[in-house]
Structure formats: C-alpha cells, structure tokens
Structure 1
Amino acid sequence: MDTWFTRAPLIEEIHRKGLFVIGLVKDLKQRYRYADGLASLTPLHSICRKTQKRGDILGSVYAQLPCGIPLKIEFVSREFNR
C-alpha cells in the first residue's frame, strides 16, 4: 500500500503480527463499528468525548474495525502553521 494514511487492511496485517498501530486516518469511505452500527469519522467526531485539556487533542472515541479489532480514535487539531 502506497499511502500516507492508515487503512483497515494495513491495521489488520500489523495486528496479526501482534503489534500496535498509531496512524493518521482520513475521512474516506472507511466505516468503524460503534454502538451496534457502522459510522464514518464525521459522525464519530460529533459524538466523541471532548477533552477538557488544552492542546491539540480535541476528543476521542473507542470503536472497532468491521473485523473486530478495537481502536481508540483521537481527533486532533489541524493547525500545522504555528
């Protein structure tokens, strides 16, 4: 896979090797299991637990890939030019 973003097949392959993944995801067609349904990143962001801390982390939510691999998705600010 030649991409800057983490996708489900890459996460599954790394998980099979017994390793953890930290990656950047983009709101594409990928869906995540949350509360007995499937959702993309946009709805997950609207229902995520907002953090009270200052910094780049806006909020987080626990979800799963459709294959059952558990995830913690953290939403961060996109301020690159500080």
Structure 2
Amino acid sequence: MAGKVRNMVNRNGRFHARLVVPKDLRGIVGKTELRSPLGGDHRQALKLLPGAVAQLQHQIGLAEQKAGAGRPQSAPARYPLA
C-alpha cells in the first residue's frame, strides 16, 4: 500500500499541490495556504507536482523578500535550492 504524497491533496476527484503559508507572511500573501490545480489523473498529477510546488515556494520566497526589504538577510532562505 502506497503512502500519502507530500504537498498533494485530493478534493472531489481533482488533485492540487498545496503549501501552507508561514504565519509571518500571511499578511503579505493574503492567504493561509497556496494551491495549484494538477488535474484529475493521479499519474499526471504526480508528474506535475514538483514543478507546481516549486512555483508555490517561489511565491512564498518573493513574499519573504518583500517582508524583509529593509533588513539585511541574517537567516538562510526558507526554501534554498540544492
């Protein structure tokens, strides 16, 4: 039996990539979570998931930059690229 796939949810037969917005950035983003539709086919959704999650992480990264525009960056990025 397969395990649960991280950052993917099934809502009414449709798959979505889902990422929770950190509490300190919710005022900037305006949402508590970000979602991106992946379609109705599970295999196709699994193929599209990494790209969709990367885009959602990019949106959070932009909000993080906007939040810290005047401050020097002392902590590493929230989603660093390998």
TM value normalised by structure 2:
0.23
Larger radius of gyration: 2
* Bigger strand fraction: 1
Structure ranking higher in helix proportion: 2
- State the TM-score, normalized to the length of structure 1: 0.23
